[in-house]
Structure 1
Amino acid sequence: MQTSEKECVSISPVHSSGDSLSHTNSPRTNPGSLVLRSPLFNHSHFDIVLRRQHSRKEGKPKFTAVPSRFLNLTNDFEFAGWGSISHLTLTPQDICHGEAELNVFREEQVLGQFTASALAANDILGGVFYTLPSVVAVAGVYSPISLFVAALTLFLWRPVMEEMASALPISGASYTYLLNVSTKPVALLGSALLLLDFSATAVVSAATAASYLAGEVTLPFPVYVGAVFVFVLFTLVSLSGLRESARVATGVLAMHVLVMITLIVASVIAWGRGGMAQLSSNWSLGHVGLSPAGIARQVFNGICIGMLGLTGFECAPAYISKMKQNCYPKVLRNLHISVLVLTSGIMLIVLALLPLDVVESGSNILSLLAQKVAGRWLRIMVVIDAVVVLCAGVLTGILSACELLVKLSCDRVLPRAFLATVPATGAPYVTVISFIAFSALIYASTGASLIVISQMFTMVWLAVMALFPISLMLLRFSRPRLPRTSQCSLFFVAGAIGVTVTVAAGNVAMAPTIAGWFALYLIILLVLFYMSQNKVILLRWMYWAYDQLPWLHRLQLTKGWGDGLIRRMRNLRRQEVCLLVKTDEINNLFNMILYVRHNEETSRLKLVHFHSGDIPSEMEANAKILDEAFPEITVDLILIKGQFDPKNLAALSHHLNIPRALMFMSSPGPNFGYSVAELGARIISI
């Protein structure tokens, strides 16, 4: 407020109720003195802002001095409308709906540690069928050492993943982690990597299953046709619902464990009868012409390739919200111990019983082992087990991808159609079919080459695993107050990142084309996600190009294009989002609105404050200032008398018809009594 030497100003209190605003400005009668009577802050309500808003007619733009960048549009195009202040009372129907939604959330936590382990274990344990030949090809007789060391590295990731999950027990894995600790564009990078990883999981599993079967019997069709058949079969299984899919996965895992135990027992008996002669012979042959540096190189290359046998470990966080409480660490433990024992143990048995040249041939090693130690009956069992468990790896990829794609749809990255479900089972059929089509497209684009897909799979898996320690560092820096029950040392974070970089460099050094395939698919996905996330920006560019060509406005065919683009932009920006605010500190409110402006396509924002009767003194005034500061966004303030808890938040979501995934809040503190997963809101500030 400005005064002159000839005038002094006294500001009387301004009272606001909802949108009813008033102000008084009266000059002092004593011109000989300059007196400024400062009002109480909670009564002034920033008189200048209110006077300017009160004096304007309804609907008049918030600014008129800055011209529009569009030739044929007025400045009104950028104006979203004035916001309002209102008091809301949640109805009993809203409360009932909120309780029902929370009950559904709790009922979805159906997976115990064994069923949850089975979904990822079929992938990680099925890797024994395609990892062993690849590792032997580069590590020779040192393959058991390489596989054992590769499995040991998971000791670095387990504490990191447990801490992230305890802070953010939300499905979607690295995408949801990055979404809650950074910005949406960064999170979309994580989602692209995850989708590639799940797709590679499904493709490698399906193609390996068909190849393994083709190595035992003569198929009446090409291998890629067998892979397509596997895709179709497990698409139908996925459409039967999560609970049924978990039961199928558990049954498959039980069969796999039984067959592997039978194979190991028979092999140990045969090893005991035959002695150490074969192992000694293989060890001697493997040492020929190798220096200590050459041995170290072989072991290191084996570790790099052996990481492929750990794929599936990253899938467990993708469906963590479906697990029962406190079973996630047990799932990681089960997966880790099983792969630690199985892969290196089986590899040692293979070298102890089969000649090195046979092992290095890479032709269905485990079926050859079964034939030698027990005969044809066990070989048939191993082949059947290989095909079935590898097919179950397809199921793991599908279910993990579905959780991610549904989350992307809830966050308005993908169309709402991805949320459509089969009425009888609740399975998201659009999501399942879209993922299978995407995976089939990747498989076809490589010429149905299992080698290319496997190489790309290794790089994608390493990139996804790197996201866990990176997410944890961002969590500790940007959300340090977020409650968590587990906390690990920074040694594990640094160690996981170091291992990732080292192994990725080793894989690229062995096959430089890996980096090219990886970059190609990643860039394609990032472009698609960027276009889907920034639809309004792309439409604005399209309208600008249309606006620069006046002759298009005169053609009958293209005359209505401009109006259509404008309607589409306005419809997209009408989608509302909600900010859940606790205090009236304007710097925090300003930063939260900036987050919405940079990460969401909307022109309608609702500030919501739950209170017990005492409303922060500057809440209404600051809402009006922010409404003035962001002309392209309508800022509404909603004051709700009630407790801020998951039930009321779900009721509010129902009342406003805004998904909880589009409700944003600051990080809760250590004394907050509810889980972030129960709230369902996104954390966007410290």
Structure 2
Amino acid sequence: MDNPHLDFTAHPASASFNHFDQDNDAPPPFESIQYDIICRRQIKPKPNSLKSTFAPSRFIHLPDAFEFAGWGSLTRLSLTDDDSKAGGLTMSAMKKNKVLGQWTASALAGNAVLGSVFYALPAVVAVGGIFSPISLSIATLILFLWRPIMEELASALPISGAPYTYLLNVSSKPLALVSAALLLLDFASTSVVSAATASTYLAGEVDLPFPSWVGAVIVLFIFVCISLTGIRESARIALCVLSFHVATMIVLMIIAAVHWGRVGNDQLRENWSAGLIRGGTSPAQIMKQVYYGFCLGMLGLTGFECTPSYVARIKDKQFPSVLRNLHLPAIVLNSVIMLLVLATVPLDVILAGANVLSVLSLLAAGRWLRVLLAIDAIVVLCGGVLTGILSACELFGQLAQNRAIPALFLRALPVTGAPFMSIISFAAFCGLLYATAGGRLDVVSQMFSLVWLTVMTLFPLSLLLLKFNRGRLRRDRRTPLFTILFAFIIVSIAIAGNIAVNPRTFGYFSAYFIGITFLFSLTQNKSHILRCLYWIYDQYPVLHRWKITSNWGSRLVDAIRRLKRRPICILVKGDEIDQLFRMILYVWKNEETSCLKVVHFSDTEKGVPSELEANVKILDEAFPELTLDLILVPTTFEPKSVAALAHNLDIPTSLMFMCCPGPNYTYSIAEFGARIISL
């Protein structure tokens, strides 16, 4: 052959292949084949051509070069002292952020978990009848399945924002956006139900000059204004509120138990007889009541899903204790309170659904306990409203950092620092949710139960994908696969029961879920939508001639180019072309960019992988829509170096992607702040 590089017989590599065939060993490494170079013909394109394809452009008035992102470059980057200093400050801030112990961390979600008793009981009694204590006990015990699942997820990925961030690291971005839509609906339901219940309890103590739904709107408006002042949720304040709530519930249970012992079981017998007449006495009818009560009893556990959302702020090894502190009191509170209500309050009053615990406190101790309980309800439930708003703002911020929604959601008011766009958007969505439900608390509560169950489905789903796609990640515990599958079965049964109780709530849920997911899909695929708009514009030449529309095309093209120029990094360890291809393909499918920086940290001992530059050039030609810039950084790959690189390139670590570290790796994935996109 004329070209010695293409003459395979001229190389002793054939011996290596024969040895591989005979001994059935692993294939020889690339270096042993003794190719000195990779033979590639890479000619720079002409002005109106693609990198290495002659496919015509789909646009009539745009040249082929529009699809060409440009050739990549090779850069050897040395991090400056300023970069290293910035990286050190980032790492110090991350360590200082772990400030929550088990009690303060429990308080942040505890007000929602233990405060749900105010709006869960009437909904459960409406379907569970006199068997509601059994239903609530089963519902609370089911969480023993979720605790090991959530513990393993938090151990492997100690990153705030779960389950959105879990799915973002173990699957594709579209699936993560589906979880974000569910979370947003969950946060909105939390705020609306809390505000409506607080207004109901207030209306039970004073004569309001307006309907209770107007009071709910006023409560939402007040806390939107409070959020705009820049007030952040304080763990210590939350702990004080939770302590007051727990103390009030203990006083209520003790006094109600004493009252029950004084009046005897007459009221319980009456309720039992009335309940059997109302619900039926056959085993099938009894099982149906217990089942429906169990399905809606999950409403009494809302808030439990919020604990992983701030796991990065919890001190090491404290997360399992936080889950325990939330779970065990919920078991006692829901079951005991429900039993005391049935033993002392007439069933028709309970089914009326208005301030059930206020009626219990009035019967047990008189006016003073009822006032105390009303104050406790209003304080705790208003805390739930604020929790929903702040959680939604945190979610919007993460979505904006990941470029799933516009960066406008990251803008803050100049004085207070509040993310005004996130707060106003969330408040508008809450208002829409409450208005379309007709201002009815029971409708929103039942939908809330369905939303919460769907959100809880995301945790076993995340762990299943974690085990399959990121099994190498280090974690402190391993949950049996049977537990994960059993959790799926239980939550599916509960979801089916909620739909059967009131199919209309499933309609509300589906409409909102589809709408939010559609909006997230639009904001995630902005450049694709703009390309479609330009294609439509391109098909009508008359639009190019009209004065009013003649500049639309240039504006659309400029907007597409601005979106595509925003860079993204992938952090690579080796030069295996299949691994590089998978990582680049992930970016191409999940992110809107044409500027991809391939970064390799190289130390002096190992040096740069021999085929890294050549393989990046091959892939640069294989992806005409991407510009692959290879950046070699002569330093050790560690969290501080990644933070310093982020400062140098002005790219946040949330837009730096890496492969999954092994089980014996020194650092946690949370320390890097990068996204895992490959096994």
Name the TM tier (shorter chain).
Answer: over 0.9
**Corresponding residue number in structure 2 for 1:337:** 328
Q: Distance between the aligned counterparts of 2:205 and 2:588, measured in 1? A: 59
**Corresponding residue number in structure 2 for 1:615:** 608
Query: Following superposition of structure 1 onto structure 2, how do residues 102-113 of structure 1 map, counting pairs within 5 Å?
Result: 102-113=91-102
Among candidates 34, 42, 47, match of residue 39 of structure 2: 47
**3-state SS in 1 of match to 2:353:** coil
Pick closer, same or farther for the CA change 1:630–1:555 going to 2, 3 Å. Answer: same
- Give 1:145's aligned amino acid: I
**3-state SS in 2 of match to 1:287:** helix
Q: Is the 8 A contact 1:459 1:504 kept in 2?
A: yes
Q: Out of 100-109 and 513-522, give the one that drifted further.
A: 100-109
Among candidates 220, 236, 244, match of residue 231 of structure 1: 220
Pick closer, same or farther for the CA change 1:331–1:239 going to 2, 3 Å. Answer: farther
Q: Is the 8 A contact 1:584 1:619 kept in 2?
A: yes
Q: Distance between the aligned counterparts of 1:588 and 1:64, measured in 2? A: 24
Q: Distance between the aligned counterparts of 1:258 and 1:248, measured in 2? A: 15
> Is 1:277 matched with 2:266?
yes
- Give 2:391's aligned amino acid: S
**3-state SS in 2 of match to 1:668:** coil
Give the C-alpha shift of residue 674 in structure 1: 1.1
Give the C-alpha shift of residue 634 in structure 1: 0.3
TM (normalized to structure 2)? 0.93
Among candidates 643, 649, 656, match of residue 650 of structure 1: 643
Q: Distance between the aligned counterparts of 1:238 and 1:245, measured in 2? A: 13
Q: Distance between the aligned counterparts of 1:56 and 1:554, measured in 2? A: 31
**3-state SS in 1 of match to 2:40:** helix
**Corresponding residue number in structure 2 for 1:169:** 158
Q: Structure 1: 5+ residue runs without aligned partners?
A: 12-24
**Corresponding residue number in structure 2 for 1:208:** 197
- Give 2:4's aligned amino acid: S
- Give 2:381's aligned amino acid: L
Q: Is the 8 A contact 1:42 1:618 kept in 2?
A: no
Among candidates 481, 484, 487, match of residue 475 of structure 2: 484
Among candidates 47, 51, 56, match of residue 62 of structure 1: 51
- Give 1:92's aligned amino acid: D
Q: Distance between the aligned counterparts of 2:53 and 2:493, measured in 1? A: 57
Give the C-alpha shift of residue 543 in structure 1: 0.4
Give the C-alpha shift of residue 673 in structure 1: 1.1
Q: Is the 8 A contact 2:49 2:64 kept in 1?
A: no
Q: Distance between the aligned counterparts of 1:230 and 1:110, measured in 2? A: 31
> Is 1:179 matched with 2:168?
yes
Give the C-alpha shift of residue 192 in structure 1: 0.5
Q: Is the 8 A contact 1:148 1:343 kept in 2?
A: yes
Query: Following superposition of structure 1 onto structure 2, how do residues 516-595 of structure 1 map, counting pairs within 5 Å?
Result: 516-595=507-586
Q: Is the 8 A contact 1:197 1:457 kept in 2?
A: yes
Q: Distance between the aligned counterparts of 2:327 and 2:157, measured in 1? A: 22
Pick closer, same or farther for the CA change 1:445–1:293 going to 2, 3 Å. Answer: closer
**Corresponding residue number in structure 2 for 1:685:** 678
> Is 1:415 matched with 2:406?
yes
Cα deviation digits, residues 19-70 of structure 1 (max 9, x gap): xxxxxx9xx9xxxx99579898687442223xx33x6679974135211110
Query: Following superposition of structure 1 onto structure 2, how do residues 271-670 of structure 1 map, counting pairs within 5 Å?
Result: 271-288=260-277, 289-421=280-412, 427-613=418-604, 614-670=607-663
Among candidates 236, 242, 245, match of residue 234 of structure 2: 245
Cα deviation digits, residues 145-181 of structure 1 (max 9, x gap): 1111110110011110111111111111111111111
TM (normalized to structure 1)? 0.92
Pick closer, same or farther for the CA change 1:659–1:598 going to 2, 3 Å. Answer: same
Q: Distance between the aligned counterparts of 1:556 and 1:334, measured in 2? A: 67
Q: Out of 510-519 and 90-99, give the one that drifted further.
A: 510-519
The percentage of counterpart residues that share the same residue type is 55
Give the C-alpha shift of residue 402 in structure 1: 2.1
- Give 2:256's aligned amino acid: S
Q: Is the 8 A contact 1:163 1:487 kept in 2?
A: yes
Q: Distance between the aligned counterparts of 2:129 and 2:3, measured in 1? A: 90
**Corresponding residue number in structure 2 for 1:152:** 141
Among candidates 1, 4, 10, match of residue 10 of structure 1: 4
- Give 2:376's aligned amino acid: D
Q: Out of 625-634 and 239-248, give the one that drifted further.
A: 239-248
Q: Is the 8 A contact 1:171 1:321 kept in 2?
A: yes
Q: Distance between the aligned counterparts of 1:661 and 1:42, measured in 2? A: 40
- Give 1:10's aligned amino acid: P
Q: Distance between the aligned counterparts of 2:476 and 2:229, measured in 1? A: 35
Q: Is the 8 A contact 1:318 1:404 kept in 2?
A: no
- Give 1:360's aligned amino acid: L
Give the C-alpha shift of residue 569 in structure 1: 0.3
Q: Is the 8 A contact 1:122 1:396 kept in 2?
A: no
Q: Is the 8 A contact 2:12 2:33 kept in 1?
A: no
Q: Distance between the aligned counterparts of 1:567 and 1:445, measured in 2? A: 39
Q: Is the 8 A contact 2:123 2:445 kept in 1?
A: no
Cα deviation digits, residues 414-459 of structure 1 (max 9, x gap): 1222223456765434323322222222222333232322222111
Q: Is the 8 A contact 1:94 1:651 kept in 2?
A: yes
Cα deviation digits, residues 202-252 of structure 1 (max 9, x gap): 111111111222233220123232112222332344456676533332222
Give the C-alpha shift of residue 130 in structure 1: 1.2
Cα deviation digits, residues 477-497 of structure 1 (max 9, x gap): 111101111221122211211
**Corresponding residue number in structure 2 for 1:16:** none
Pick closer, same or farther for the CA change 1:652–1:331 going to 2, 3 Å. Answer: same
**3-state SS in 2 of match to 1:579:** strand
State the aligned residue count: 658
Query: Following superposition of structure 1 onto structure 2, how do residues 15-54 of structure 1 map, counting pairs within 5 Å?
Result: 44-49=36-41, 52-53=42-43
Q: Distance between the aligned counterparts of 2:201 and 2:9, measured in 1? A: 93
Q: Distance between the aligned counterparts of 2:73 and 2:354, measured in 1? A: 71
Q: Distance between the aligned counterparts of 2:257 and 2:69, measured in 1? A: 75
> Is 1:257 matched with 2:242?
no
**3-state SS in 1 of match to 2:629:** strand
Among candidates 221, 237, 245, match of residue 210 of structure 2: 221
- Give 2:238's aligned amino acid: A
Give the C-alpha shift of residue 589 in structure 1: 0.3
Q: Is the 8 A contact 2:123 2:442 kept in 1?
A: no
Q: Distance between the aligned counterparts of 2:283 and 2:664, measured in 1? A: 56
Q: Is the 8 A contact 1:64 1:75 kept in 2?
A: no
**Corresponding residue number in structure 2 for 1:121:** 110
Pick closer, same or farther for the CA change 1:82–1:159 going to 2, 3 Å. Answer: same
**Corresponding residue number in structure 1 for 2:65:** 76
Give the C-alpha shift of residue 260 in structure 1: 0.9
**3-state SS in 2 of match to 1:468:** helix
**3-state SS in 1 of match to 2:596:** strand
Q: Is the 8 A contact 1:315 1:396 kept in 2?
A: no
**Corresponding residue number in structure 2 for 1:194:** 183
Pick closer, same or farther for the CA change 1:670–1:423 going to 2, 3 Å. Answer: farther
Q: Distance between the aligned counterparts of 2:108 and 2:284, measured in 1? A: 40
Q: Is the 8 A contact 1:61 1:81 kept in 2?
A: no
**Corresponding residue number in structure 2 for 1:18:** none
Cα deviation digits, residues 609-662 of structure 1 (max 9, x gap): 111121111111101101111111000111111111111100000101111111
